[in-house]
Amino acid sequence: MSFYTGCNPVRTPHLLFNTTAVLDALEVDYEVVGCQGECCGIIQSRWEGDKASGESVVDGSISRFAGFQPKAILSCCLSCVLHLGKTIAGFRKVSFEFDHVTNYLLSRAEGLADKFIRSVNERVLLHTHDA
């Protein structure tokens, strides 16, 4: 399995560190793929409107993934999952699954309960929007 960071390591290191800590606790055999220069192509395609550049980035990323021959690629970036997921589903066949890491963790929920035994006394603030 591969854990794809996308280009987010500098912006959201806490997500990466927490995700790898959970995968390590589950004793998952994985490699980390990605870095600051490993964008999924959404920036070029959607934000900059440069479809040709975006397609080139997507093609390069998917080819790098395939080089690892993983059964699955997991990401904690919703933009990557949305952009690459649609690309893979509609335009390019691959030999691996591409999904958000939370779906994988849900499939391993039983094993997670036994791994996290230390209490964390923190508050979670939820912000709701009134209609």
pLDDT tens by residue, 78-129? 888 888 887 777 777 888 888 999 999 999 888 787 877 777 777 767 666 6
pLDDT tens by residue, 37-75? 678 888 888 777 778 887 888 888 888 888 888 888 999
Task: Please name the amino acid found at residue 120.
Answer: V
> Do 82 and 8 meet the contact criterion of CB atoms below 8 Å apart?
no
| 12 compared with 124, residue with greater pLDDT | 12
- The span from the CA of 91 to the CA of 58, in Å, is 11
Domains and CATH numbers, the chain: 2-115 (3.40.50)
The pLDDT score that the predictor gives to residue 78 is 86
